[in-house]
Amino acid sequence: MANIVAIVGRPNVGKSTFFNRLVEKRQAIMDNESGVTRDRHYGYAEWVGKHFTVIDTGGYVTGSEDVFEGAIREQVEEAMNEASVVIFMADCHDGLTGMDNDFARIVRGLKKPVVIAANKADTAEWSYQSSEFYGLGLGEVFPISSSSGAGTGELLDEVVKHFEDEGTENPDDGIPRIAILGRPNAGKSSFMNALLGKERTIVTDVAGTTRDSINTRYKLYGQDFILTDTAGVRKKSKVHEDIEFYSVMRALQALQDSDVCIIMVDAVRGLEAQDMNLISLALKYKKGLMLMMNKWDLIEKDSNTMNKAKAQLEEKLGHLNWIPQIFTSVTQKQRIFQAIELAVKVYHNRIRKISTSALNDAILPQIDRFPPPALKGKHIKIKYITQLPTHAPTIAFFCNLPQYIKAPYERYLENNIRESFDFEGVPIKLVFRKK
């Protein structure tokens, strides 16, 4: 499972301030229709090499004195249910309040690792106040200052100790994990149903109960794989805001747990901003990916329609034109098995290891033919190339002046690698090291 950290606490204790400090600035936003307010609730962070998703439950409680109001409580609870670790935030300036105690009561029932962040401990005096929060009976208290960053390192050291996985990849059990992602209504549930040949039940009411049912082990032509779908999640709640909350969270989780993402797109609507956001997320996490252009049956066609559609897609994708596409109709069962086969192919591309000699034989002549442009009168010499033993393909170039290799030349190298070796659907990372 992916590592997820939820920040909870009553309004105004500084959750958002801490969150903003934690997450990277310009990150992929999954929902562009809903405006900016909800975007700040999800972020990706890294601490001592461990990657995790952070959920800020801040905005959900704002403006409401009654934290136990149905929807709000549900959202916070859902966030906590999904979390691997909960950061319970309190405010040293206000001290222990009744509302903190109310919150603590919910948190205590969780049986999850909880760390207490006693925020606004900007000075030693305020730090002393923080011991009061031991009274919550939740565990260790870490005085921090979200605005200055003081104490946050110690807090995060404790948080990452509770992670169950390394925050990098799934255990290498050799079974491809395929996540099906896409906008609401793209056809994800229908796809799963078509593959499984029966209606899957969608849990409607109780938050958190669909959790385990989203992973389905599947066998096709002797090939084992695990499918994760993110469909139906939005049907769980009537409150509009919940829709985003659940579906984004589920998508993130599914994505992080996968090897390959099938990004399902409604072909009638074409590739939209939200789809691009999913693509950039998959890239960020170095997942294999492919596009499944669904509802192809609804498109009026002549003999050239698919070629035109492909050309349009490639134009939109730009240098990401190595992302494969398949045009499907789930309802007509058109190419749905091919879609899975393609995903499995991408999986194999992603675990491909190219021998050092094959890499050098193929790429060094291309470098000779078109060497990196000299910078400040200095010549850059790439001596040899090797694939690093990482999960997702990483190719290391050993050279005299690694810092002088610029993006356009990197792209040239990547194109050459892709021409020589089949990395279709797989993000590859290039690193430049000093010999």
Binding-site positions read 9-16, 56-60, 119-122, 182-189, 229-233, 294-297
CB closer to ligand GTP, 113 vs 151: 151
- Using CB under 6 A as the binding criterion, the count of chain residues that bind ligand GTP stands at 35
Please tell me the distance from the alpha carbon of residue 229 to that of residue 213, in angstroms, as a whole number: 9
Q: Quick check: 330 binds ligand GTP (CB under 6 A)? A: yes
Q: Quick check: 232 binds ligand GTP (CB under 6 A)? A: yes
The SS3 of residue 181 is strand
Site string for ligand GTP, 391-410 (x = CB under 6 A): --------------------
Per DSSP, what are the bridge partners of residue 6? 55, 86
* Positive/negative CA dihedral, 19, 21, 24, 25: positive
Q: Which residues contact 124 (CB under 8 A, 6 or more apart)?
A: none
Rounded least distance, CB 164 to ligand GTP, Å: 27
Binding-site positions for GTP read 9-16, 56-60, 119-122, 182-189, 229-233, 294-297
Site string for ligand GTP, 181-200 (x = CB under 6 A): -x-xxxxxxx----------
Rounded least distance, CB 366 to ligand GTP, Å: 42
| Residue of 58, 176, 393, 427 interacting with ligand GTP (CB under 6 A) | 58
Q: Quick check: 15 binds ligand GTP (CB under 6 A)? A: yes
Q: Quick check: 64 binds ligand GTP (CB under 6 A)? A: no
Locate 131 and state its tokens. 């011991």
Please tell me the distance from the alpha carbon of residue 348 to that of residue 259, in angstroms, as a whole number: 10
Q: Quick check: 372 binds ligand GTP (CB under 6 A)? A: no
Please tell me the distance from the alpha carbon of residue 401 to that of residue 403, in angstroms, as a whole number: 6
Q: Among residue numbers 124 through 163, which ones bind ligand GTP (CB under 6 A)?
A: 145-147
CA 67 to chain centre: 29
Q: Which residues contact 377 (CB under 8 A, 6 or more apart)?
A: none
Tokens 């903190």 found at: 100
Please tell me the distance from the alpha carbon of residue 262 to that of residue 188, in angstroms, as a whole number: 10
Q: Which residues contact 336 (CB under 8 A, 6 or more apart)?
A: 191, 194, 195, 328, 330
Q: Quick check: 325 binds ligand GTP (CB under 6 A)? A: no
CB closer to ligand GTP, 76 vs 380: 76
Q: Which residues contact 188 (CB under 8 A, 6 or more apart)?
A: 180, 181, 182, 229, 230, 231, 264
H helices present in 293-335, as ranges = 305-317
Q: Quick check: 297 binds ligand GTP (CB under 6 A)? A: yes
Rounded least distance, CB 144 to ligand GTP, Å: 7
Strands 50-56 and 42-47, by their bridges, are antiparallel
| Contact set with ligand GTP (CB under 6 A) | 11-17, 58-59, 61-62, 119-120, 122, 145-147, 182, 184-190, 231-232, 234, 294-295, 297-298, 329-331
